[in-house]
Amino acid sequence: MSTERDGSAETLLTAPVLPGWDHAVGGKVRELYVPAGTDPAEATEVLMVATDRISAYDHALQPGIPDKGRILTAISLFWFEQLADLAPNHVLSAQDVPAEVAGQALRCRGLDMVPLECVARGYLTGSGLTDYRASGAVGGHHLPPGLTEASRLDPAIFTPATKAEQGDHDENITVEEAREQLGAALVDELEHLTLAVYERAREIAAERGILLADTKLEFGQSRTDGTLLLGDEVLTPDSSRFWSAADYREGRTQPSLDKQFVRDWLTSPASGWDRAADAPPPALPAEVVEQTRSRYVEAYERLTGRQF
């Protein structure tokens, strides 16, 4: 296992060798394993490991963020518990995992993933704001004129995106385009589940002084009975935008408790990186790494009420 040491923390950067498990898929920030000798395409159980890597703009960045894998796993578990009555999920166990990845791995049901990013937006920002400024609509939803950065959307809207291969960009599409690609019945169910999860999470976060601006969910069908299950991670600082309610001001970019902090640094003059060029992003400075970790820890502690 390759690690990078930062103070007292070890940052998991590459896939460890785990006895009894075969490494199946390596992503930008997660590693997926199947029981030894199992065909990954048919595995009914998988081991999902959240590494300490962080990605932005389809690039895996260096160095990693100490403890990020543990934080994301703990936040996901909190939300899976809160949402179990709305959307069954893929988690089998967080305890019976190899010691090498304890705290940052989950044993999960094997899923055939739906090839769609299911995004719920309760505030207008990011690519949604870009689409709105260009056409007055987001994901096929025509919105009122005069909206601006961080305008609240009531009700929240479902805005799907295609799932790109690693290295490519996800592409926002309309709900109607998603229905044409995957079938109306499946997309309607995904829309219902996504918005139900978002509204429940928005209420819970608001009770803790946090605004859930938007979130990205992924669903898959169980390989044992075909049930549609909430998979991957859920409502983490990697997949969601969290804003402090006390600092919220419509019309400006909001201070965030999520990965947007890293994106903002990458696109600032301080990084010196040209996003449109072929060159990879620069290494994250130590202060950006530490401030990112602090934001992730704060998000975990405020949302769960537990100390990390």
Average pLDDT over residues 118-122: 98
Tokens representing 32? 């997926």
Express each pLDDT in 128-165 by its tens digit: 999 999 999 999 999 999 999 999 999 999 999 997 66
Q: Quick check: 262 and 64 in contact, CB under 8 A?
A: no
Is pTM beyond 0.85? Reply is: yes
**Percentage of the chain surpassing pLDDT 90?**
88
CA distances from 201 to 47, 132, 219 (A): 26, 24, 17
pLDDT at 1 over 50: no
Helix, strand, or coil (residue 66): coil
Express each pLDDT in 232-276 by its tens digit: 999 999 999 999 999 999 999 999 999 999 999 999 999 999 998
> How many whole angstroms separate alpha carbon 192 and alpha carbon 212?
18
Q: Which residue has the tokens 């209420």?
A: 203
Express each pLDDT in 169-226 by its tens digit: 678 999 999 999 999 999 999 999 999 999 999 999 999 999 999 999 999 999 999 9
> How many whole angstroms separate alpha carbon 121 and alpha carbon 157?
5
Helix 184-207 and helix 175-182, axial crossing angle in degrees, nearest 10? 130
Q: Where are the alpha helices (DSSP H) in 183-239?
A: 184-207
Q: Which residue has the tokens 């069908």?
A: 221
CA dihedral 268→3→19→40, nearest 10 degrees, is 20
